Amino acid sequence: MNMYNYKSEIRNPKFEVRKILNRIYEADIPQKDDLIYLLSLGKVSDLETVFNFADEVRKKFMGEGIFLRGVVEFSNYCKNSCLYCGLNKNNVKLKKYRLSEKEIFEAVAKISEQKIKTVVLQSGEDDEIDPKWISRIISGIKSKFDIAVTLSVGEKDVSDYRLWRKAGADRYLLKIETTDKTLYKKLHPGMSFANRIRCLKDLRNLGYEVGSGIIVGLKNQTIGSIADDIIFFKKEEFDMIGIGPFIPHKKTKLGAEKTGSVNLTLKTVALTRIVTKNSNIPATTALGSLDKDYRISGLKAGANVLMPNFTPLPYRKLYEIYPGKRCVNESPGLCAPCLLKKAGSIGRFIDYSKGDSFKKYERIPQSV
């Protein structure tokens, strides 16, 4: 480093931020202290430095295209009682639904009509659904449409994961929610952190593209634990990483808690981009639920994926994991033009390819 840079480093604290950003970018595994320092930044100019750095990394590794994933929430039944989630089994007031095979295929047809090439089939942990029924849906979709199938149906036995992979499922989303084991235990009565990790490992071994992620701003979650989460993302080389703010839902145990900070969420997105380089990172629906412009902020802070909702209208508002979800009354037909406009407004474009993981090509292929 020459003298000029050295002097400006002393005089200009912004330069310090850049230096640390560079360090986490270069590191095989970033230092926790560096991540804590960056996550703690509060000045607008520092935040801009972090977001711009992440945007550069996104541009370099992912380009300007935004991948779309059409989400179909096919059941809101859940056997779990996660303290933050509106679908928890103790929320007995919630009207329950399961989509029929026909309704799912109609939703997938709408996704396909809009040239979107990924469907995410998501549900609560609904143990009443026969895994073979899901299997039939997957193979039906794969035979009728040129589309990647992503599942997000929670913790299951390896035999189910294998069955669905064999039926043609390509990807699986299972957020770790937090890597803080004490916090995880408090938030998920009757569940275990070890089993969640087991699931993520099984999915990886079966050759799925694996997505994970966290909620930001949970009560008792520390900056240090978010730093650990980011290190976990880096070590596990996830194909996709969803990071959303905590949104309190009245019918949950955490209903009276504070909403997660948007800036902390955006910093977590940005640092995740910088350390993972080429993971697919959505500007999450949760972020968009707090304000219509926050998904744009996510896209400018390292994100490269949007997940429009294609759940049929009468059911959409019943999949209330948190309140205030956007577009619960709008027809899916309006999605494409709206997203196109969003992308265009920040000089990006919609990439209508399947948006396979770049990380996948760096791994040795697995047999099912």
Task: Give φ, ψ of 244 to 5 degrees.
Answer: -130, 155
Residues numbered 309 to 328 that lie near ligand SAH (CB under 6 A) are 321-322
234 binds ligand SAH (CB under 6 A): no
Element spanning 216, H or E: strand 209-216
Taking the C-alpha atoms of residue 87 and residue 72, their distance in angstroms, rounded to an integer, is 16
Shortest Å, Cβ 126 to ligand SAH: 8
Count how many Cα atoms sit within 13 Å of the Cα of residue 21 in the half-sphere of its side chain.
26
3-class SS at 2?
coil
For ligand SAH, which is the closer residue by CB, 111 or 203?
203
125 binds ligand SAH (CB under 6 A): yes
218 binds ligand SAH (CB under 6 A): no
246 binds ligand SAH (CB under 6 A): yes
Q: Which of 76, 122, 225, 280 binds ligand SAH (CB under 6 A)?
A: 122
Q: Which of 152, 198, 324, 328 binds ligand SAH (CB under 6 A)?
A: 152
Q: How many residues sit close enough to ligand SAH to count as binding (CB under 6 A)?
A: 19
Residue 218 contacts residue 47 (beta carbons within 8 Å)? no
Taking the C-alpha atoms of residue 114 and residue 361, their distance in angstroms, rounded to an integer, is 27
Checking DSSP bridges between strand 118-123 and strand 65-68, what pairing results, if any?
unpaired
Shortest Å, Cβ 274 to ligand SAH: 22
Q: Which of 154, 288, 298, 332 binds ligand SAH (CB under 6 A)?
A: 154
Residues numbered 261 to 290 that lie near ligand SAH (CB under 6 A) are 286
244 binds ligand SAH (CB under 6 A): yes
Q: Which stretch binds ligand SAH (CB under 6 A): 136-144, 174-182, 333-341, 347-355?
A: 174-182
Burial of 198 (0-12, 13-18, 19+ CB in 10 A): middle
Count how many Cα atoms sit within 13 Å of the Cα of residue 43 in the half-sphere of its side chain.
7
Taking the C-alpha atoms of residue 312 and residue 203, their distance in angstroms, rounded to an integer, is 29
User: Can you give the binding site for ligand SAH, defined by CB under 6 A?
Assistant: 84-85, 122, 124-125, 152-154, 174-175, 177, 215, 244, 246-247, 249, 286, 321-322
